[in-house]
Amino acid sequence: MTARDTNEPHRTATPLELFFDLCFVVAVAQIAGELHEYLAQGRPATAVGSFLTVFFAIWWGWMGFTWFSSAFDPNDVPFRLVTLVIVTGALVLAAGVRPAFEEHDFALVVVGYTVMRLALISLWLRAACAGAAGRRTGRTFAAGLAVVQGLWCAWLLLPEEWQRPVFVLLALLDLAVPVLGERVRPTSWHAHHIAERYGLFTMIVLGESVMSATSAVRRAVDADYAGGDLYLLAGGGLLTVFAMWWMYFASSAGEFLDSTREGFLWGYGHYLIFGAAAAVGAGLALNIDALTDEAALTDAGAAATVTVPVAVYLMAVWALHVRPHHRGGWGPFLFPAGATLVLAATVTAMPVVATGLVTAGLVAVGVLRERAAERRAERARAERARAERSGGAAA
């Protein structure tokens, strides 16, 4: 196993990484489904708390392998087998989602998480022994992961009222392991490869949201509910998800991921993007259920299940993608303003449609600004060319 070149050209996701992402989205779909069900029952505290807890496990399991495979990817048989073990751990975790929501029983979630962690520890030890990551770096990662995972197993023994506050502490310790490891010696992760990997996972999670909403529309139609408000809601939901996709991929993150610090902030911030994208699908399905009186929520409560995650998504995309590209002018303030309007749509008569119109408006303004910038650049090039021709003629 050797370190990859940070400037390697045409560094793209491998078929193994694509398969890895698709399997992890199975767990995301399970979590989103339980979020939808518990919100429909009028139990938002249990729904949101369990969602954030379990989603952290699947997100962090995905993160650990993604950054490792960006820096070291021999693509040999042992590496492929260990990757499939991590996938198995994710599927075990997915099987434990329902007990975690229903009975606050996180045993199977922790078992799946432990399988993923042990497999990743073996990869870091292999990298350390091969000298790919440096012995101290590889050992620091392996030791940190092992210690924190031991604490997660002990966490299961705590009383339920202690688990939530201790969870926050253990999550912070988990997040600190890469920070400590990279301080010993930065790994050779590839900026454009990382940006592509995150983009692909965002795309898949958004696709899962579309599937969730589509299933809810089908259930409503099967129940002989075919009112115009159903189709308006479905159209508003599609418009929202399409706009979310457009905004995320409007700019390339690989251009500004030029330091470990930027990589940490950008990578960790995607917890909000991934989580919000998954929650939007549950919210859209819940609003469709509310039309057929299958959800025990007020109109404003049902609306908030869409508007709140969309607003979170907008702010996260603004912080991670928009601000690094636009340092000045009024353009960067469009996203905070859009998030505010989306939250205000919670109390409107058709909140999902209003959300779709606001997000589509943000996309339209962004496209117009980009076209205007291209025209200014073309005029500047033409003026420089004329100046060079005039200078040559004078000479």
Model pLDDT for residues 79-105, shown as the tens digit of each residue:
999 999 999 999 999 999 989 888 888
Full-model pTM: 0.89
Quick one: tokens of 390?
A: 């005039």
For residue range 110-140, what is the model confidence (pLDDT) as tens digits?
999 999 999 999 999 998 888 766 788 889 9
**pLDDT (0 to 100) of residue 309:** 94
For residue 145, count CB atoms less than 10 angstroms from its CB and return exposed for 0-12, middle for 13-18, buried for 19 or more.
buried
Predicted confidence (pLDDT) at residue 235 exceeds the cutoff of 70? yes
pLDDT of 156 higher than 80? yes
